[in-house]
Amino acid sequence: MDLFQRFEQLNVIGASLSDERNIGRLLEGIVLAARAITHADGGTLYRVSEDQKTLRFEIVRTDSLKIAYGGATGEVLSTKFKDLPLYRENGEANNSLIAAYSALQAKTVNIADAYTAEGFDFSGTKKFDQVTGYRSQSFLTVPMKNHENEVIGVLQLINAIDPESGAVREFSDADQRLAESLASQAAVALTNRLLVSQLEELFESFITLINLAIDEKSPYTGGHCQRVPSLTMMLAEAVEATKDGALAGFAMSEKDRYELKIAGLLHDCGKVTTPVHVVDKATKLQTIFDRIELVDTRFEVVRRDAEIAMLRALAAGTDRLAAEQGWQALCRAIDDDREFLRRVNVGSESMKPEDQARVRHIAKAYRWVDTNGAESDFLSDDEVENLSIHAGTLTQAERETINYHIVATIKMLESLPWPKHLKHVPEYACGHHERMDGKGYPKGLKQDEMSVQARIMGIADIFEALTARDRPYKQGMKLSEALGIRGHIDPDLFDVFIKQKVYLRYAEQYLDPSQMDESV
């Protein structure tokens, strides 16, 4: 391969490095590319530590010894190789180590033979050779400088191989220029990738901050904000693995997965606007506190007023037996009605029409005098409305307040300047309350108007809500119960959910063993 072809290869390599998102694979690609264009048998890549005191092994490759550490192997090299100190204990530069010298001086070092070279300590290299039978000869050590001319790593190549004879030779001037050019491109690519990673980490930290705020407002929704993204990704991966049926063509790139993950984490961010007493409403009369205690107090006031009236009647000469029987009958009615209101206040089951009628009767059956001396109905209109809720603990107005969180989520997410690879986050995150028949909210979308990712999130949101054990107003369903409630979700996705046992993997991770019944 002539020099021109090697430069062409260098350009191709540089472009490919810029496209790599995974830092481990990026570093590995740098070493493999450098070895390829210089015909080196071995290569090592070091990164300067965050405290600027050591060089950390990242990639180690030697073809003839079949050594491959770091990079795509996922191996942590700190367990195999100690970091190289850039400074001695007295603070002086550790210029005896060739890699440290290259990093500290920002200079390339080209050595024809390590065994005859002067000025550097190759004792570690020679020990390695004794153990392995290898012969380390030519070294090309190149600093990796970023756009600010800071050394962020060192690329070291070992034993240039003559393509024709196969013999070890020294690295030529052309090899050095190519390696330096590649190291420069690689440093920029690595810096860019690290910067993107730091920005992504910062962005995800802000998302975590929002979910933490929701968690602090309500311990009953914080777990939801973490479990739904987890189940979403489980189901998405299962759909991607499906090879037949309507979803056989679904596929996700690494960027697609990240986009869906972010959407999952943000799907309920609008709940920061939802009043906590509505989110946490455990009983029908609960606001900031459970108003059933006020009702109890009124019953006690009515009882005492009745007792006082009885005593006054007796003092006026009324028949004692009749007066006491009347008062005792009233006390029994009070106890019965109070127990009834406490029971229906829980809202754990559907309320019968006759029970709703009884609430309205109680509201008028007793009169009580407040602290201002005004006589009032026993229950206010708001209390009657709440105690008459057919199912659950929320009034229609409160349900609308809860449902508004998705509108708030849409407003929040659509206001952000999403980059190209995250442009679908609002659509994925904000569609989990839509229904396949178009009767969901907030936009009333039908199945063919929604992406697969949004429909996946809808199933995850529903299943998590059905099985969650941390809600104040209900117990988490058993798996068999939850799987029996299909509602208006995507039937093809639900088939994958069942056939690939996504629900079981989720259950093993998040549900109580008591919820995993035998019928599953």
Domain C-terminal end among 196, 226, 243: 196
Record the tokens describing residue 388, joined without a space.
Answer: 């008459």
Residue 211 maps to a domain:
no
Distance CA(52)–CA(212), nearest Å, equals 34
Q: For residue 163, is pLDDT > 60?
A: yes
* 413 and 312 fall within a common domain: no
Residue 204 maps to a domain:
no
pTM as predicted: 0.64
For residue 423, what pLDDT band results from cuts at 50, 70 and 90? Answer: very high
Backbone phi, psi, residue 300, to 5°: -65, -35
Q: For residue 8, is pLDDT > 70?
A: no
Crossing angle between the packed helical segments 491-499 and 219-240, to the nearest 10 degrees? 90
Widest CA span of the chain, in angstroms?
130
Domain C-terminal end among 351, 368, 393: 393
* 360 and 448 fall within a common domain: no
Residue 68 maps to a domain:
yes
Residue 201 maps to a domain:
no
* 379 and 485 fall within a common domain: no
Peptide bond between residue 275 and the one before it cis (omega within 30 degrees of 0): no
* 16 and 128 fall within a common domain: yes
Residue 283 maps to a domain:
no
Distance CA(399)–CA(402), nearest Å, equals 5
Question: Taking the mean position of all CA atoms in its chain, how far away is CA 35?
Answer: 39
pLDDT of residue 485: 77
Percent pLDDT > 70 in the chain is: 91
Instruction: For residue 232, give its domain range.
Output: 218-278+398-515
Dihedral sign from CA coordinates of 127, 130, 134, 139: positive
* 313 and 448 fall within a common domain: no
Domain C-terminal end among 140, 163, 196: 196
* 71 and 161 fall within a common domain: yes
* 378 and 415 fall within a common domain: no
Mean pLDDT of 93-117: 95
- Per the prediction, the chain carries an average pLDDT of 86
List the CATH number of the domain containing 265.
Answer: 1.10.3210.10
Residue 212 maps to a domain:
no
410 touches 430 (CB < 8 A): yes
Strand pairing partners for 109?
Answer: 141
- For residue range 44-99, what is the model confidence (pLDDT) as tens digits? 999 999 999 999 999 999 999 998 888 876 666 777 788 999 999 999 999 999 99
Please state the domain count of the chain.
Answer: 3
Residue 49 maps to a domain:
yes
Crossing angle between the packed helical segments 173-217 and 254-266, to the nearest 10 degrees? 20
- For residue range 449-498, what is the model confidence (pLDDT) as tens digits? 999 999 999 999 999 988 887 665 567 788 888 888 777 888 999 999 99
List the CATH number of the domain containing 89.
Answer: 3.30.450.40
Between residues 13 and 66, the one the model is more confident about: 66
Q: For residue 222, is pLDDT > 70?
A: no
